[in-house]
Amino acid sequence: MSIRKSDLALGFLGLAALSLLAVIAHALISGDARHPAAAARLVAELGLTDLALFTEARYTRHPSQADLNTPFQDHPMSFDHFPTGSLIAPPARFGPTGGFAKTPGEGAR
Amino acid sequence: MKSWIARQRYLIDFTLSSLLRRKVRNLILFAVYAVSIFVLGSVMLFSHAIRREAAQILASAPEITIQKLVMGRHDLIGQDYLDAVKNIRGVRRAEGRLWGYFYDQASRANYTLMVPPPDDAARALAPGETMIGAGVARARGASQGSFLFLLSPTGKMFKLKVKSILDSASELVSADLVLVSAEDFRRFYRLDSARGFTDLALKVRNSREIDTIIEKASLKLPDARFITRRDILRTYESIFSWREGLLLALLGASIIAFAIFAFDKASGLSAEERREIGILKAVGWETGDVLAMKFWEGALISLAAFLSGVVLAYAHVFFFDAGLLAPVLKGWSVIYPQFSLAPHLDGLQIATLAFFTVVPFSAATIIPIWKAAITDPDMVMR
Amino acid sequence: MISLDNVCKTYHEGRENEVRAVREVSLEIGADRTTVIRGPSGSGKTSLLTLIGCLSRPSSGRIRLGGEIISGLPEKFMTGIRRQTFGFIFQRFNLIRGITVLENVMLPAYPLGTDHAALKARAGELLEMLEIPGKAAMNAEQLSGGEAQRVAIARALINDPQMVIADEPTANLDTRLTMQFLDIVRTLRGQGKTMLMTSHDPRIWSADMVDTIITMEDGRVTAVEAADRS
């Protein structure tokens, strides 16, 4: 009984499908177990507002706190010279208050 | 049913034999295909996971942050502002926060200097003491008990004893933090207490009252800007959607290139292939058999590429911390947090990825065959 | 076994390059016989063969197989009949390059979904019978002309057809290989297969196992005669 090409191919597909299932199982099991508790606690205790992901400029370090004018000083859509600037969107619609006055119909949940 | 399965296996045998005739070409095709799915999948998984992580972490951010704006710029906020909002109904607690940026010439990195809130007993600091984020510790080679020297913007050298290093599990929010006492902070930036704080943080009794509180506060403080926790979450939601979209758009070019390649490969039906289809029909294959055979070709390649691409992307993002994407995210930052994301798979995402990769390729394989497959088999006799 | 009734085949009908390859042919082809169609090239031999072998449909007229009209059947049924009834040996053999001899031989049985081990064994037997068992693992393009024809014969026989149809089987063979081919034909006749060949090779017409010779000219059958057995 020789091994046929179709056996190899279907075997490979089966293996790949099994590993996808394993990945799904892994995501279900460890995804919920890994709540970022330490970071969340630090955020609560220090009152942090942003992720320390991009540290090269003020508005990338604290995008939620940046002045509305800072990131894109000349025009809201203009590019700036930091690479991250091309990754961070200008705050198109910054919250219910726009930072200044209440917009009607935007109640807190 | 049994013979149906046997038949499909024969068709798979044949299609594999055909594919193996152009081994190198088809292997390259498969590799390019799998790599495209891997990169796309990595971006999707990473963006989704970090969005989720950001939402979980920042869910405990201050409910309301108040900034003072002068000429459209963020300015220091005075004690009088704090007094004005402190007594608004629904405000449980209001405090002035001190934090600022510092460019450290020694490590050429930006730090965030911050004073821990007074009620944070675990992080109470005496003058001359500091707690630093793991990213700063790496940049400066500092460890617990060593000294951190910072040249302040006023030209004065500060010598701070590292009391401890912040938990590296929280690096995603703390990598660049340098916590100092309020006294040190004010001396560092030469900031007397009359000039107030960086901003104000408010805690409220009931999160439903946030809008009402802001409304009242904005009447009292017309030049202040209010940032709610919801705004913060929304900012991060949009940042990572934007990034995902941007990367996907960039990758779109490569997908189109691949599609052209695949279509060319699949649709460029040579005279040789036409003749083969004629032979198959002449020796007793039906049109349906030829199409099924070609279907298997498309399905096997695209399914194998999809499954391996997705599994590899998952391993890349969650077991290897998205190492290949880090340079893109890092930009010009000197301090970059080391973090692992909580594994997460989104069914809809996977389905989208599958739909936009497997279906077009299978179609590009079968459709050009259609016309050749329905021609009369007597062409091989001529 | 097969009867043709006023069958015509016209290619590119109604266009400038219209070719009337077969014109008003009425014919009987008996079972258990060896029939040879002869005639100059372009006389419509091959077209007639494709009509009989269900590889194409007549433009008009009827073809019966064992009394049943098969010329108007949908493709699926035509394919089914072709698969069960006919085995084809093409002039240029038409083996598929790049795959092995064994796979080439097994090819016509793939859509039937027969048991793999049995099919492989049968293909092996056929290669054995045709005296090329050592070539099973070779690729089709590595074969010599005579070997390629034997593989084509094995492929024609894999589904155990009643009738073997060969188009100019000796056109690419030298005298020695032609004689060997005729030996194979003799063996197949001995196994009860009906043979139908086209040829303009006198070595075929004069072969001892040929029963009927049909002569074609300009798409018409001009003579049907029993072979001279003197």
Residue B126 identity = A
Q: Are residues B187 and B117 in the same domain?
A: yes
CA distance B41 to B162: 41
Contact between B283 and C99 using a beta-carbon 8 Å cutoff: no
User: Is-contact A47 B68, C-beta < 8 A?
Assistant: no
Q: Are residues B251 and B310 in the same domain?
A: yes
What Å distances lie between residue A7 and A11, B27, C101, C107, C157, CA to CA?
A: 6, 19, 20, 18, 27
Return the DSSP state at C100: B
Which residue, C94, C84, C110, C226, is CA-closest to C163?
C84
Q: Are residues B361 and B245 in the same domain?
A: yes
Query: What is the CB neighbour count within 10 angstroms for residue B25?
Result: 11
- B95-111 in b/e form (b: 16+ CB < 10 A) is bbbbbbebebeebebbb
CA distance B344 to A29: 10
Per residue in C10-39, pLDDT tens?
988 888 888 889 999 999 998 889 999 999
Per residue in C70-98, pLDDT tens?
888 888 888 888 888 999 999 888 899 99
Of B225, B239, B310, the CB nearest to A100: B225
Provide the residue range defining the domain that includes B135.
99-192
* Mean pLDDT to the nearest integer, C134-140: 90
Residue B169 identity = A
CA distance A64 to B63: 13
In a domain, B348, yes or no: yes
Of B14, B284, B380, the CB nearest to C94: B380
CA distance B280 to B292: 13
Per residue in A4-36, pLDDT tens?
889 999 999 999 999 999 999 988 888 666 677
CA distance B81 to B86: 9
Enumerate the residues of chain A whose CB falls inside 8 A of the CB of residue B333. 54-56, 84
In a domain, B206, yes or no: no
Q: Are residues B182 and B242 in the same domain?
A: no
Q: Is the dihedral of CA B189, B192, B196, B201 positive or negative?
A: positive
* ipTM of this complex prediction, to 2 decimal places: 0.90
Per residue in B143-167, pLDDT tens?
999 999 999 888 889 999 999 999 9
Residue B272 identity = E
Q: Are residues B273 and B187 in the same domain?
A: no
Radius of gyration of chain C measured on its C-alpha atoms:
18
Contact between B173 and A42 using a beta-carbon 8 Å cutoff: yes
Please report the pLDDT score of residue A91 as a whole number: 53
User: Is-contact A61 B101, C-beta < 8 A?
Assistant: yes
CA distance B235 to A92: 9
A104 interfaces chain B, CB cutoff of 8 Å: no
Q: Are residues B307 and B179 in the same domain?
A: no
Higher pLDDT, B273 or B210: B210
Distance of residue B24 Cα from the nearest chain C Cα, in angstroms: 14
Query: SS3 for B41?
Result: helix
In a domain, B339, yes or no: yes
Enumerate the residues of chain A whose CB falls inside 8 A of the CB of residue B246. 86-87
Q: What angle do CA C67, C155, C31 make, to 5 degrees?
A: 25
Among chain B residues, CA nearest to A33: B342
CATH code of the domain containing B177:
2.40.40
Please report the pLDDT score of residue B341 as a whole number: 87
DSSP conformation letters of B203-216:
EES-GGGHHHHHHH
Tally the C-alpha atoms within 13 A of residue A10's C-alpha that lie toward its C-beta. 15
Confidence class for position C126, pLDDT limits 50, 70, 90: very high
In a domain, B64, yes or no: no
Q: Is the pLDDT of residue A94 over 70?
A: no
Taking the mean position of all CA atoms in its chain, how far away is CA C165?
A: 2
Backbone dihedral angles phi then psi of residue A84, each to the nearest 5 degrees: -65, -25
What residues does C36 pair with on adjacent strands? C197, C213
Which residue, C8, C11, C37, C40, is CA-closest to C24?
C8
Residue-range domain boundaries for chain C: 33-55+83-226
Q: Is the pLDDT of residue B86 over 60?
A: yes
What Å distances lie between residue B360 and B67, B260, B347, CA to CA?
A: 51, 11, 20
Q: Is the pLDDT of residue B223 over 80?
A: yes
Of A40, A54, A69, the CB nearest to B333: A54
Taking the mean position of all CA atoms in its chain, how far away is CA B240?
A: 6
Of A31, A51, A67, the CB nearest to B173: A51
Pairing of strands C163-167, C194-198: parallel
CA distance A5 to A109: 58
In a domain, B76, yes or no: no
Residue B296 contacts by C-beta under 8 Å, 6 or more apart in sequence? B8, B11, B12, B15
Per residue in A45-92, pLDDT tens?
998 999 888 887 777 788 888 776 555 444 444 445 555 665 665 555
In a domain, B225, yes or no: no
Taking the mean position of all CA atoms in its chain, how far away is CA C219?
A: 19
> First-to-last CA distance in chain B?
37
Enumerate the residues of chain A whose CB falls inside 8 A of the CB of residue B92. none
What Å distances lie between residue B220 and B54, B66, B84, B213, CA to CA?
A: 32, 12, 7, 11
Enumerate the residues of chain A whose CB falls inside 8 A of the CB of residue B110. 55-57, 61
What Å distances lie between residue C103 and C89, C143, C150, CA to CA?
A: 16, 14, 14
Alpha helices per DSSP H over chain B:
2-21, 23-57, 79-86, 134-140, 171-174, 182-189, 210-220, 229-267, 271-282, 287-314, 326-330, 347-374
Q: Are residues B147 and B263 in the same domain?
A: no
Of C90, C116, C155, the CB nearest to B380: C90
Q: Are residues B254 and B165 in the same domain?
A: no
CA distance C64 to C76: 17
Distance of residue C30 Cα from the nearest chain B Cα, in angstroms: 23
CA distance B199 to B209: 21
Which of these three, B134, B161, B192, is where a domain ends?
B192
Residues of B with CB under 8 A from a CB of C: 2-7, 9-11, 13-14, 17-18, 20-21, 272, 275-276, 278-289, 376-378, 380-382
Which of the residues C96, C102, C141, C196 would you substitute to probe the B interface, choosing the one with the greatest number of B C-beta atoms within 10 Å?
A: C96
Query: What is the CB neighbour count within 10 angstroms for residue B303?
Result: 21
Reported pTM: 0.82
Helix (H) or strand (E) holding B151: strand B147-151
Residue C218 contacts by C-beta under 8 Å, 6 or more apart in sequence? C23, C43, C44
Residue C54 identity = C
Confidence class for position B332, pLDDT limits 50, 70, 90: confident
Query: What is the CB neighbour count within 10 angstroms for residue B68?
Result: 20
Q: What angle do CA B183, B186, B192 make, to 5 degrees?
A: 110
Q: Is the pLDDT of residue B70 over 50?
A: yes
CA distance B65 to B95: 10
Confidence class for position B239, pLDDT limits 50, 70, 90: confident
Contact between C110 and B289 using a beta-carbon 8 Å cutoff: yes
Q: Are residues B38 and B161 in the same domain?
A: no
What Å distances lie between residue C170 and B112, C70, C92, C149, C193, CA to CA?
A: 90, 30, 10, 9, 19
How many domains, in total, are found in chain B? 2
CA distance A23 to B343: 9
Architecture of C33-55+83-226 per CATH? Answer: 3-Layer(aba) Sandwich (3.40)
B316 interfaces chain A, CB cutoff of 8 Å: no
Confidence class for position B243, pLDDT limits 50, 70, 90: low
